Structure 1
Amino acid sequence: MSYKAKFRVWRGEGGEGRLEDFTVEVNEGEVVLDIIHRLQATQAPDLAVRWNCKAGKCGSCSMEINGKPRLGCMTRMSTFAEDETITVTPMRTFPVIKDLVTDVSFNYTKAREIPSFTPPADVKPGEYRMQQIDVERGQEFRKCIECFMCNNVCHVIRDHEENKPAFAGPRFLMRIAELDMHPYDTVDRRDAAQDEHGLGYCNITKCCTEVCPEHIKITDNALIPMKERVADRRYDPLVWLGNKIFKRSDAKKS
């Protein structure tokens, strides 16, 4: 069974562009990315779209469908009414290269700023021993496919371009939290999370969690616990007193 659907697709380069209207055939079981490919094949051969696996695992086909960040390959046409006009636009937070393709290099820049996993020097690969609870805590975050929709929807950078130099976004604050939870990671990441990567900018609206295609509880399981660990260090009076005492003791020894 097939029908004709109405699509409005963003066309343009750089900061200039417009929405163009199309009427395109839709067949049973298809997803939005199928329709974009049909548009390329039949009406707009120069339409640019980024995609790879078409299985919801590479994160390449991130776009905004009716104003919500989604994966084109995982958004089924059956979720829309047949007479509904479907609007497809590029991710708004990142600069448009052409049509639906955006420049997501911001995310790779932030990734490079985070120190990698740093185990103890005297523990060799194969000698790590972890409790199952520690394995499970970090396992959820490793499901991330780096679609960058969480960073795209985060209003801290979506609505405030000036925040980008100081804010890593949910994706990479989650990475910092994951490493900080690892029992074999020797880097103290709490001060850096707050001072260098902008953890304090996050006001836990959970919009990042809502759009995650892997259903990772970014806010509840990564960002809030990281905020709590930072607050314990900086504002817990007992921790503050302990830091003062130990620093004084270290100074005397030296």
Structure 2
Amino acid sequence: MTKATFNIWRGDGGAGELVEYTVEVNEGEVVLDVLHRLQATQAPDLAVRWNCKAGKCGSCSMEINGRPRLSCMTRMNTFEPDEVITVTPMRTFPVIRDLVCDVSYNYEKARQIPSFTPDPGTEPGDFRMQQSDVQRMQEFRKCIECFLCNDVCHVIRDHEENKEHFSGPRYLMRVAELEMHPEDTADRRVIAQDEFGLGYCNITKCCTEVCPENIKITDNSLIPLKERVADRKYDPLVWLGEKIGVRKGLRKDTPVVPNTKPPASSGPA
């Protein structure tokens, strides 16, 4: 058994400060274990959100030495023996108390995304998908909604005003998942750009770097979605088709049919 020095942010949405603790550490423990020991021995009022302690619920997201991480998956043996470990709440979201943040912003964005929209004439049992499409959907569905990708995204981390127009990488990935689904008939390229702020993303890949599920958020969802939006907006044939449609009295937002979406193979495998 050894001892470690922790600087933990204590306070609420109004004000707070880093408080230093010296706490015992056992072999094989993770940061969340140490936080629980602090609650049991020195700081019973320390607020920490957690649930599964297995890296699958996303509840224990926080920033450890300045990096957004899951405390239940951050092993103590990855730090130097005399290293001071600083633990703070996620900085992109309002603090409720201590290490617990209000992440309701994320759920508000989730509710704004139109749900899966299959062809009304197709029964669920009639769906047929290529294995590459199945694998693509499964990668996106691995998300545990820890919101570390949204936390590290500088578009909303450094610019509070962007939260109104930008849904962040987590839910742009959801839009991409539905747009790439071969059985989804809705054209989500317009809302991706106009309602969810895809244009704000400058593909720094910081969201991919912090994803505990190793989802290639940037390469497999954001970049392909940007390509689809660019094709629709700047492709001269698409532009000509819209002009012809307007002359025939059709609205540009006329509901799309399954054949008008790009083939599913245009996304990453």
Report the TM-score, using the length of structure 2 for normalisation: 0.91
Alignment: residue pair count: 251
> How do 1:120-159 residues align onto structure 2 when only pairs under 5 Å count?
120-159=119-158
Task: Deviation per CA, 1:174-199: give whole Å up to 9, x if none.
Answer: 00000000011111100000000000
Which range moves more in the overlay, 232-241 or 32-41?
Answer: 232-241
Identity %: 77
1:196 aligned residue:
195
1:99 aligned residue:
98
Which range moves more in the overlay, 65-74 or 235-244?
Answer: 235-244
2:82 aligned residue:
83
Deviation, 1:250, is: 5.3
Deviation, 1:241, is: 1.5
Secondary structure in structure 1 of the residue aligned to 2:80: coil
Q: Which amino acid aligns with 1:33?
A: L
2:39 aligned residue:
40
> How do 1:1-254 residues align onto structure 2 when only pairs under 5 Å count?
2-249=1-248, 251=250
Secondary structure in structure 2 of the residue aligned to 1:64: strand
Tell me how far apart the structure 2 counterparts of residues 115 and 49 of structure 1 sit (CA, whole Å): 33
Note the residue ranges of structure 2 that are not aligned, 5 or more in a row.
Answer: 251-269
Tell me how far apart the structure 2 counterparts of residues 57 and 122 of structure 1 sit (CA, whole Å): 37
Contact 1:91 1:102 in 2 (8 A): yes
Tell me how far apart the structure 1 counterparts of residues 144 and 136 of structure 2 sit (CA, whole Å): 18
Tell me how far apart the structure 1 counterparts of residues 7 and 226 of structure 2 sit (CA, whole Å): 41
Contact 1:209 1:215 in 2 (8 A): yes
Tell me how far apart the structure 2 counterparts of residues 248 and 177 of structure 1 sit (CA, whole Å): 31
Contact 1:15 1:95 in 2 (8 A): no
Note the residue ranges of structure 1 that are not aligned, 5 or more in a row.
Answer: none
RMSD after superposition = 1.2
